[in-house]
Amino acid sequence: MAAEDLPSDFDIVILGTGLAESVVAAACSRVGQRVLHLDRRSYYAANWASFTFNGLLTWIQEQNEETKPEEVKDWSSLMEEGEELIHLSNSDSASITNVQVFNYTSEEEDDTQSADASNTTEEEKAADEDAVKESSETESADSKEEEEAGAAEEQTEGEEPEAEQPLPSSPSNQSKPARKKVSYAQLVKEGRRFNIDLVSKLLFSRGSLVDLLIKSNVSRYAEFKNVTRILTYRHGNVEQVPCSRADVFASRQLSVVEKRKLMRFLTSCMEETEEQTAYNGRPYLEFLRDQQLGESLQHFLLHSIAMVTEDTPTEEGLASTRHFLRCLGRYGNTPFLFPVYGLGEIPQCFCRMSAVFGGIYCLRHSVHCLIVDKDTNRCKAVIDSRGQRISCSHVVVENSYLDADRKQMAPPPRYLSRAVLITDSSVLPSDSDQQISVVTVPPGAAGGPAVKMVELCSSSMTCIPGTHLVHLTCQSVGSAHEDLSPLVTRMFRTTESQNEDQRPSVLWCLFFNMADGSTLEVKGHQLPSNVYVCCGPDGGLGHEHAVKQAESIFQKILPEEEFCPPAPNPEDIIYDGESSSAVDQDLQEESRGPDQDQNQENQNQENQPEE
């Protein structure tokens, strides 16, 4: 952005470029609102961002840096009578915690960084412990289990420090298996080819995000790949879940009778019957059991298709099952799509749309405080990080911009535990190594909570050839490392073992906790009535939560307007005199222009979620 001042008058100021904020920005610009969209970070998409490997290392470093205490300036010169200030936070200290990095690559070039990163600051740990105090009882129960889980666990515990600071003569350098090892230098050197998501989500083929992308024509800015397999972790093995007709036909694990029962259940559950309603309120598992479905079918249906837990009520389980089935076959044999180049693309696509319709974008630019009219309790203007007063009619703000004391009104946030692994092979090797797989791990399968795992291959443009990128997500019980490392050590090799270990090796991994957006109360911040809060990513697999939030904010701001009507084709837009699409410089430089995307889209039409 050039050093010149921004216009001093907007309809809507939006802080944060996460998915919900970006959708609101696109929707508002699209119907002619003047939108100023700011993010204090140097990248788009906030906690929805995707990073190159090196970008992620920088991000990790930032998470561990002490935030500078905020200078309190006197803004009275910019204020008028009857106005008061609401100060906003200038850093996001709470949404990401417990960042830990482990490096298992053989050649170490930069071990200081990973060692530093793994030493999480004490304050963060303390904060996290507070947050999870409620669940301490369950935790102790878990820890017993963990002890019983035995030697495997202990072994890893013992080896971790070694892994963090590998000795130059570590045994891994000698007996090399056939698999070619990727070195750390290579990860750094080819780091640009990674697109590592902070959140791990997928698009349901008939979910609200796909509908929105199609309806608004934002889909032209992105490409998608089908998730190719649904897998599950069961009895210590990774198995493919037969969910489409072709899968069921080809399945070797199911007997023909099981095939029939499964297909019959999948067809019959689409319609609500009296038999089903009789089970309302009773666990879905009970319903499945009474349908004479065998143990493996129950597992598939409960954990991999409905993706619910054993005590989820039947009506909820059936609704999830139906949603899964409705999504099947629209774009392929699984119900999911994944955006090529990572999920961080999606918020950016909406920003691009907003920019095409006149939205103004600034990164590394924030707002110090909101100016509130005392009488009306409405926000009249904001003061940006350059001390400029910008008047506006509405403010949309990402949760982390609010001061900690404002958030104390809300219940303490819950956290998600995340792990990101770079591995050398797939958890279930097949004919093609270009598979995008979802792996559902039921609770207790590895002594921990239910984990959703997404394994990406290099053709998804998120990792380099010869590697896979694995995302693990679960609701936090303890820290991300406590929650997820038992599963990681079971499913993957973290050390060099000579014997016939077919499990994929972890080259590098990252653990962190992220605030669960779905548990952050949107109301109750005692904010002016025209200030709307977006909370960050939730733990769900789809994007329903963020889209719903964006739509409801849009409807509050502009109750009369249509939400994201189809954008006209570029050739139908009339350009006269002043260019009506004042695309921000930043965005133009940083991203491909919409016209270029158009061309690309034509070449990749099969992957477009368009009808």
Contacts with other proteins by CB under 8 A lie at 32-34, 245-246, 248-250, 256-257, 259-261, 263-264, 357-358, 568, 572-574, 576, 580-581
Q: Quote the distance between the C-alpha of residue 113 and its chain's center.
A: 25
CA distance 369 to 36: 15
Minimum distance, C-beta of residue 250 to other proteins, in the bound complex (Å): 5
Q: How far is CA 15 from CA 384, 396, 553, in A?
A: 11, 6, 14
Q: Which is nearer to other proteins, 111 or 249 (CB)?
A: 249
Minimum distance, C-beta of residue 547 to other proteins, in the bound complex (Å): 23
Q: Which is nearer to other proteins, 6 or 85 (CB)?
A: 6
Minimum distance, C-beta of residue 607 to other proteins, in the bound complex (Å): 14
Minimum distance, C-beta of residue 260 to other proteins, in the bound complex (Å): 5
Q: Which is nearer to other proteins, 359 or 442 (CB)?
A: 359
CA distance 575 to 553: 31
CA distance 458 to 462: 6
Three-state SS for 336?
Answer: strand
Determine phi and psi for 412, rounding to 5 degrees: -55, 135
Minimum distance, C-beta of residue 479 to other proteins, in the bound complex (Å): 44
CB atoms near residue 441 (< 10 Å): 26
Three-state SS for 481?
Answer: helix
Q: Which is nearer to other proteins, 186 or 581 (CB)?
A: 581
Residue 22 is encoded by which pair of tokens?
């970006």
The two most distant CA atoms of the chain are separated, in Å, by 79
Q: Which is nearer to other proteins, 329 or 443 (CB)?
A: 329
Minimum distance, C-beta of residue 303 to other proteins, in the bound complex (Å): 22
Q: Which is nearer to other proteins, 133 or 264 (CB)?
A: 264
Q: Which is nearer to other proteins, 92 or 247 (CB)?
A: 247
Q: Quote the distance between the C-alpha of residue 142 and its chain's center.
A: 26
Residue 105 is encoded by which pair of tokens?
């690559």
Q: Which is nearer to other proteins, 34 or 503 (CB)?
A: 34
Among the listed residues 5, 48, 45, the one whose alpha carbon sits nearest the alpha carbon of residue 25: 45
Minimum distance, C-beta of residue 264 to other proteins, in the bound complex (Å): 7
Q: Which is nearer to other proteins, 377 or 391 (CB)?
A: 391
Minimum distance, C-beta of residue 301 to other proteins, in the bound complex (Å): 16
3-state secondary structure 93-144: CCCEEEEEEEECCCCCCCHHHHHHHHCCCHHHHHHHHHHCHHHHHHHHHHHH
Residue 282 is encoded by which pair of tokens?
């009773």
Among the listed residues 216, 224, 214, 329, the one whose alpha carbon sits nearest the alpha carbon of residue 605: 224
CA distance 66 to 94: 12
Check residue 466 and give left, alpha or beta (phi > 0: left; psi -120 to 50: alpha): left
Minimum distance, C-beta of residue 170 to other proteins, in the bound complex (Å): 44
Q: Which is nearer to other proteins, 353 or 515 (CB)?
A: 353
Residue 395 is encoded by which pair of tokens?
């403010």
Q: Which is nearer to other proteins, 206 or 259 (CB)?
A: 259
Beginning with the edge strand found earlier in the chain, give each strand of the sheet holding 96-103 in spatial order: 96-103, 506-515, 415-423, 468-475, 451-456, 437-441, 229-234, 237-240
Minimum distance, C-beta of residue 571 to other proteins, in the bound complex (Å): 9
Minimum distance, C-beta of residue 15 to other proteins, in the bound complex (Å): 21
| Torsion over CA: 452, 455, 459, 465 (sign) | positive
What does the buried/exposed string (b/e) look like for 107-136 if buried means 16 or more CB atoms within 10 Å of the residue's CB? Answer: ebeeeebbeebbebeeebeeebeebbeeee
Minimum distance, C-beta of residue 550 to other proteins, in the bound complex (Å): 20
CA distance 84 to 369: 10
Minimum distance, C-beta of residue 435 to other proteins, in the bound complex (Å): 15
Determine phi and psi for 133, rounding to 5 degrees: -55, -40
Determine phi and psi for 477, rounding to 5 degrees: -110, -55
Residue 195 is encoded by which pair of tokens?
């697109």
Residue 589 is encoded by which pair of tokens?
């430089």
Q: Which is nearer to other proteins, 265 or 341 (CB)?
A: 265
- Give residues with Cβ within 8 angstroms of 252, minimum separation 6: none
Q: Which is nearer to other proteins, 182 or 305 (CB)?
A: 305
Minimum distance, C-beta of residue 255 to other proteins, in the bound complex (Å): 9
Residue pair 506/488 in contact by the 8 Å Cβ criterion: yes
